Structure 1
Amino acid sequence: MDQDQDRKADQNPRPAAPCWCKCDRCVPASLPQEQLCCRRSSGGCISSSPLFHQLVLRRPLLEAVLPYRDPLTLLDRVWTAALHHCAYQQFISWRFGSPPAGCHPAVPSCCIQRIREEYPSPDGRYRGFRPVRTTVTMQGSANGEP
């Protein structure tokens, strides 16, 4: 870790890790689907790995990928938010491949926190992931329809 990252960490002390965290880098979450750590047992955090930095956080990579994922993101005021969301997509692609349509793998709390540190919201507010709810009728399910 270089000195700039050390200073950044000192300026933004992390709250105590919740009991479900195994890497000591997760932050408390109120929703059960947000209570996910990168590890099943104690150990180093994936968000501190060199691959995480290269594949998820590296700005030149995100700036190269973004026009392919969202060609209309050209305005500076939405650029940081676009980089933020692109970093989430990069993590999912790296760890899970291309998920099927309508499938949204959960990103661990520690990784979300690290992405937010690197690409913060200008107003400091985050809405979290909200999946689109779909309704399935019993008749449609019986007929094999999604």
Structure 2
Amino acid sequence: MERSVDMESFSDDSVVNTSAGSTSFDDSHEGDIGLGVRPYQFEPEVDTDEEISPPNSPDRHVERLGNNDWCTCGHCHPMPTNAESVCCKEIQQVCAVINEEEPEKRCITELTSFAPACLQRTVLRIAYYSYRQHYEEIPESNGRFRYISYRQLVRWCWGWLGRTVRVPLPACAVHLIRSTFPAEDDQYRGFNFV
């Protein structure tokens, strides 16, 4: 059985006019991409009175070194570099995990599942065995537990990044992981983009 549509039954009245009664969308723009939609039309506009510095600008991070005034979760500690001086509340992927699991918590380290996933030695040993199937062996030490714990945190919040993709981890989580699995000489490699 074949169906046909009578196009004459549709009138121009059935077309939605997105500009009716609106003051911000009334004008016709060259950038319209059909149906009256313009790229970025629903994005917030920048207040010209605000001072904006790019995310990787040195000016943005100068005030972060040697203090934790930038922390909004209440658990971050001063970090040695600008790249490492980031709070869990500043990382979209980490905030998504917090909001999904326990939205009333202020920090990723406060989540009930943080300690079992990132600090429990048995869980980290099992995660290491999975790692070991694909990469070189790492002798058991606090360094290995720290490394696997960081990987667990990345897997939990970002899924899989790839071999050369790196992201700074929140200072609160790094501090708790380092406190749980301290280096014997108190020296840590820190974050590197490459």
TM-score, normalised by the number of residues in structure 2:
0.53
2:137 pairs with 1:72: yes
Deviation at 1:31, TM superposition (A): 2.1
2:161 pairs with 1:99: yes
Structure 2 residue matching 1:124: 3-state secondary structure: coil
Distance in 2 separating the partners of 1:123 and 1:89? 22
Verify the 8 A CA contact 2:83 2:191 in the aligned structure 1: no
Deviation at 1:101, TM superposition (A): 3.4
Deviation at 1:17, TM superposition (A): 6.3
Alignment counterpart, residue 75 of structure 2, candidates 25, 33, 36: 25
Matched residue type, 1:26? C
Q: Which runs of 5+ in 2 are unaligned?
A: 1-65, 96-104
Deviation at 1:23, TM superposition (A): 1.0
Verify the 8 A CA contact 1:29 1:35 in the aligned structure 2: yes
2:152 is matched with 90
Structure 2 residue matching 1:86: 3-state secondary structure: helix
Report 1:131-142 matches (<5 A).
131-132=193-194
Distance in 2 separating the partners of 1:126 and 1:72? 20
Distance in 1 separating the partners of 2:67 and 2:78? 7
Alignment counterpart, residue 54 of structure 1, candidates 113, 116, 131: 116
Segment of structure 1 superposing worse, 103-112 or 45-54: 45-54
> Runs ≥4 in structure 1, deviation > 6 angstroms?
none
**Equivalent residues, number:** 113
- CA deviation vs aligned residue, 1:54-84 (integer Å, no higher than 9, x gap): 21111110011112213522x34xx211111
Q: Which has the larger helix fraction?
A: 1
Segment of structure 1 superposing worse, 58-67 or 26-35: 26-35
2:174 pairs with 1:124: no
Deviation at 1:29, TM superposition (A): 2.4
Verify the 8 A CA contact 2:88 2:107 in the aligned structure 1: yes
Higher relative contact order (CA 8 A, sep 6+): 1
- CA deviation vs aligned residue, 1:108-131 (integer Å, no higher than 9, x gap): 000000000111111111120223
TM-score, normalised by the number of residues in structure 1:
0.69
Cα distance change of structure 1 residues 61 and 102 upon mapping to structure 2, 3 Å threshold:
same
Distance in 1 separating the partners of 2:137 and 2:88? 32
Distance in 1 separating the partners of 2:80 and 2:146? 22
Larger gyration radius, structure 1 or structure 2: 2
Structure 2 residue matching 1:26: 3-state secondary structure: coil
